[in-house]
Amino acid sequence: FFVMRALWLVVLLGLLVYRVDSRCTGNAIGPTEFRVRGNRIEYRYSGDEGWTKFFLRSMGYSPAPPTFDATDKPYGDFYSTEFRHLHERDLPLIRKMGANSIRLWSWNYMGTTVGNHADFLDLCWNNGQTPLRVFLPFDMGALGPDGQLIYKDLGNAQTRRAVVSDWATLIDQYWRHPAIMGWLIGNELDVAFGGYLNELFSLANLMIDVAKEVTKGKVQLITMPLSETSFLRLVKKYYAVMQFDFWSLQTYDRYTKTPEDYVNATYDKRNPDVVLKPIVVTEFGSSSIQVSKDEKGKRIQFSNESMQVEQLLSFVNRVENFTHIIAGYSVMEWVDEWWKTATDFKNPNCPNHRSDLHTFCAHYVNSGDDLVIAIHEEWLGIWTQTLPEKSRSTVSYCIQPKLAYFALAEIWNGSSVHGERCAIDKYPDPVVYMLGPMLVALLFELAYVLYFRFTMWKSGGKGTGGRLLSVSKRPSSSKLDLTAMDDDAELGHKSEDPLKDAMPRDAMAEFFDVQARVAAAFEPYQPRS
């Protein structure tokens, strides 16, 4: 028994050593340093002297499978080890198509350890071979269980301390990993905190100072993604005082504004005495759903992947040819997310909150010149998803490429793959899972039988194991004599006097009444005459 336990311990230690050796321990390598020089982003590894130019070609990545709702656990954080099967399916494809970074949402760092996300970051780092750089989000616009902002009043000193404390926790946990490129303060916070803009931007500067202290001056890039509706107005007001490494905006305006418009306006609105900072488009996307009308004038919606390709490439080509001030962009997004319904006033079936249905609900944004754009957020992906297929011990999460995937891979000088790609999530087979406890119970039963036989053999067949349990040994509330009886007495061949003497008077009558009824039950049946 001791030898078996020792061998089992050796096997476990061997598996542990193999696991640690086979994965990249990114934190042990040290952080990658990034900086902005002039109109471009540069990076270098720890210990290097030279800097390398970096132009962001990023993919928005939130691999929420169908049937998963971001408002339920894990609340949009699909980057933990629990979803490694999705990461192993997607990250090699993103890398292969030519992307060099990914932009994330809903990264849950509170109440967790770095181990929950270490596998994901290690897969992004890929042992330094064509790594995917990561922008981590600080979800400052998060809502609480009551549907209200967690950080409500940004002018309140207690709220500001809570923001800075949580921000420092996030930075301290992850800044040492070489895959980390930078940090995003919220997501279009100018919308959520429109009435507290001065408080918002002053707090952002304070957060940048804290980040520099936490990382001892080796902080990566920091910015705050703004909505296109207020971007130019905010640039004009805050450009001279903000410490952002670059300005970032999120645009779905594919008709009236171009990258040149934003850049030229930024030149015009900034203070001439302030150094010009680059712009990064942290979100741009186009859905693969087209809205039209049929012959009777009825509104219809249908898939149009060619339209998605045309609109994406029109924007991407302009950005790629305007790199003297634009430092990169992120395409929205990798896969369709089925949970993103909307209150579509033009569609009576909306909103539809079923995350197992791919709906056509849209929301609408003003694009200037009285033009309204319908955005179908469930269809922004360049891969489409299918419903998970379940078996007894696995679940398959499969995706199919859209035309936009192949078009982007060609522009990014990458390579593409054809056909379906699936991630297999394995869990214990319920039948096999039950066999374990059943086997343990069987082994215990076998051990008991062997012990029983052994004691009989050792006592020559006359041990306690070979005797019937006497009445005086059976559990009873009566004060019975626990002296064992011989086999003959147990079988009723001796007088009942010992039993009478052993039992208290109040129990004797009941005992013999039961004994008589039992004896009568075994007498031959005598029909009435």
The DSSP string of 345-381 is TT-TT-----TTS-----EEEE-STT-EEEE-GGG--
Does residue 19 have a pLDDT over 60?
no
Average pLDDT over residues 232-257: 85
pLDDT in tens, 40-55: 999 998 778 899 999 9
Question: Closest by alpha carbon to 385, among 90, 49, 22, 135?
Answer: 90
Distance CA 503, CA 500 (A): 5
**Cβ 117 vs Cβ 80: under 8 Å:** yes
Helix axes 305-320, 259-269, angle to 10 degrees: 40
Instruction: Compute the Cα dihedral for 166, 167, 170, 176 and give only its sign.
Output: negative
What distance in Å separates the CA atoms of residue 255 and residue 369, rounded to the nearest whole number?
A: 10
Residue 393's pLDDT band (cuts 50, 70, 90): confident
3-state secondary structure of 208: helix
| Burial class for 379, CB neighbours closer than 10 Å (0-12, 13-18, 19+) | buried
Asked if CATH classification 3.20.20.80 holds for the domain at 21-286+304-335, the reply, yes or no, is yes
Integer CA distances (angstroms), 338 to 80, 137, 311, in order: 20, 22, 22
Of 321 and 459, more confident: 321
Q: Comparing 267-281, 341-355, 369-383, 476-490, which segment has the lowest mean pLDDT?
A: 476-490
The residues pairing with 390 across neighbouring beta strands, listed in sequence order, are 395
SS3 of residue 223 by DSSP? strand
Element of type H or E holding 252? none
Helix (H) / strand (E) containing 473: none
Question: Span 299-309, mean pLDDT?
Answer: 85
Q: Does the pLDDT value for residue 240 go beyond 80? A: yes
3-state secondary structure (DSSP) of residue 54: strand
Q: Distance (Å, rounded) from C-alpha 525 to C-alpha 529? A: 12
Q: Are 333 and 62 in contact (CB under 8 A)?
A: yes
**How many other β-carbons are positioned within 10 Å of the β-carbon of residue 301?**
19
Which uninterrupted H or E stretch holds 12? Answer: helix 2-22
Say yes or no to pLDDT of 504 above 60.
no
Sheet containing 40-45, strands listed edge to edge, beginning at the edge strand earlier in sequence: 32-37, 40-45, 52-54
Q: How many Å apart are CA 485 and CA 490, to the nearest integer?
A: 6
Indicate if the pLDDT at residue 86 is higher than 60. yes
- Tell me how far apart the alpha carbons of residues 240 and 274 are, in angstroms, rounded to a whole number: 6
Give the model's confidence band at 256: pLDDT under 50 very low, under 70 low, under 90 confident, else very high: low
Q: Which of 14-23, 114-123, 383-392, 490-499 has the lowest mean pLDDT?
A: 14-23
Alpha-helical regions (H) of 175-280: 189-192, 197-214, 231-238, 259-269
Report d(CA 86, CA 337) in Å as an integer: 14
Stated pTM of the model: 0.74
The SS3 assignment for 292 reads strand
State both tokens at 455: 């004691």
Q: Are 289 and 301 in contact (CB under 8 A)?
A: yes
pLDDT at 103: 97
